[in-house]
Amino acid sequence: MATGSYPATRFRRTKRFDAIRRLVRENTLSVDDLIWPVFIRDGEDDETPIPSMPGVSRLTVDRVVKAAREAADLGIPAICLFPYIDTSLKTELCEEAWNPDNLSNRATRAIKDAVPEIAVMTDVALDPYNINGHDGIVRDGVIVNDESVEALVKMAIAQAAAGSDILGPSDMMDGRIGQMRAALEAAGHRDTCILSYSAKYASAFYGPFRDAVGASGLLKGDKKTYQMDPGNTDEALRLVERDLREGADMVMVKPGMPYLDVCRRVAERFDAPLFAYQVSGEYAMISGAAQNGWIDGERAMMESLIAFKRAGCDGILTYFAKDAARLLNG
């Protein structure tokens, strides 16, 4: 398939005006590609702006229901809930994580009740409930794997019972997908999807998120004994393969933009639905620079999102979901 030489071939012909550019475009972004992560808090008819994420707030349950209605009306297929838990409810063993009436489960029920057509995704990890800020249970300074998995399974079942459509295990413990899948089947939750955070890196780009869920001040040490080393990509393929074998329906690479090469490798190797998480730090960089007038925020947002499609992702978790949907809907 040879490309002719000049002047038989002039690449500028297909760039001449918008209609022709659209006609030859290889990748497109659609509202159907978007999952919108939101932060929830206790209280009524109120919200708290998150300083490190300009334009993003923690919403009370009634407000998140309204937000879900707006998202569904924009055509966004899924909303992903992250709870901000009061410090008084955080413990060493994270019991609040599987309380059937915890904030996340109450919000799930309220959204499924009022806006049944939107898919609700929930986060399966202990960090919002952990007095240590870690995703697993800590014993003598060690994040213990198997005991954490037992807790995560209880948490997953409580979320499925509350009506969560997609469980998102973001904890990176070993064996969690298989145990969760077995427990879901046993409890009769046969149709609950698992979107595994399979290739999740130990990243500085999660900083603003930890502020948003109130885990920044509490986190002791780092997450390098369970999240991936930024130097690795072969390991990402092994993790994805393992999670698919254990019963994940969809897989994720996270963060997004610094790991587009990982997205590409996973997309080429596996046929399963693949998502990237454009994380809080990526959002903060783009929206912070835009606020300062250093870049055109709308254009940078859309350019950053199409990059994920080009890299082979089927969809993107992004705090820009609503803004992008409004632009896509014209």
The residue (of 114 and 300) whose beta carbon lies closer to ligand PBG is 300
Tell me the closest approach of the beta carbon of residue 148 to ligand PBG, in angstroms. Answer: 12
Q: Could you tell me which residues are beta bridge partners of residue 250?
A: 195
Nearest distance in Å: CB 272, ligand PBG = 20
Q: Pick between residue 36 and residue 209 the one whose CB is nearest to ligand PBG.
A: 209
Distance separating alpha carbons of residues 41 and 10, to the nearest angstrom = 56
Identify whether 220 is a catalytic site residue: no
- The yes or no reply on residue 96 touching ligand PBG (CB under 6 A) is no
Considering only 206, 226, 275, 308, the residue that binds ligand PBG (CB under 6 A) is 206
For ligand PBG, the closer of residues 28 and 225 by Cβ is 225
Radius of gyration in angstroms for the set of CA atoms belonging to the chain, rounded to a whole number: 20
How is residue 93 annotated by DSSP? S
Of the pair 181, 223, the CB lying nearest ligand PBG is at 223
How does 218-242 read in b/e, with b if 16+ C-beta sit within 10 Å?
Answer: eeeeebeebbbeeeeeeebbebbbb
| Of 57-65, 179-187, 204-212, 322-330: span binding ligand PBG (CB under 6 A) | 204-212
**Mask 109-148, x = binds ligand PBG (CB under 6 A)?**
--------------x-x-x-------x-------------
CB of 278 to ligand PBG, least distance (A): 8
Q: Is 38 helix (H, G, I), strand (E, B) or coil?
A: strand
Supply the minimum distance, in Å, between the C-beta of residue 55 and ligand PBG: 14
- Kindly name the residue from 223, 254, 309, 322 that is annotated as catalytic: 254
Is 156 in a helix, a strand, or coil?
Answer: helix
Number of amino acids touching ligand PBG (CB under 6 A): 11
Least distance in Å: CB of 213 to ligand PBG? 8
Query: What is the rounded distance in angstroms from the CA atom of residue 147 to the CA atom of residue 136?
Result: 8
Active site residue 254: yes
Nearest to 204 by CA among 170, 227, 181: 227
- Over the window 162 to 181, marking each residue x when it contacts ligand PBG by CB under 6 A and - when it does not, the resulting string is --------x-----------
SS3 194: strand
Neighbouring CB atoms inside 10 A of 179's CB total 18
* Contacts of ligand PBG in 232-291 (CB under 6 A): 279-280
Region of 202-210, 231-239, 298-306, 308-316 interacting with ligand PBG (CB under 6 A):
202-210
Is 130 or 179 the residue whose CB approaches ligand PBG more closely? 130
Q: Please spell the DSSP secondary structure of 233-276, one letter per residue.
A: SHHHHHHHHHHHHHT-SEEEEESSGGGHHHHHHHHHH--S-EEE
Count of positions (residues) in the chain? 330
Instruction: Extract the tokens encoding 157.
Output: 């079942």
- Residue ranges with strand state E in 104-237: 119-124, 138-139, 142-143, 166-169, 193-200
Q: Which residue is catalytic, options 112, 200, 309, 322?
A: 200
Interface residues toward ligand PBG, by CB under 6 A: 123, 125, 127, 135, 170, 206, 209-210, 223, 279-280
Catalytic residues: 200, 254
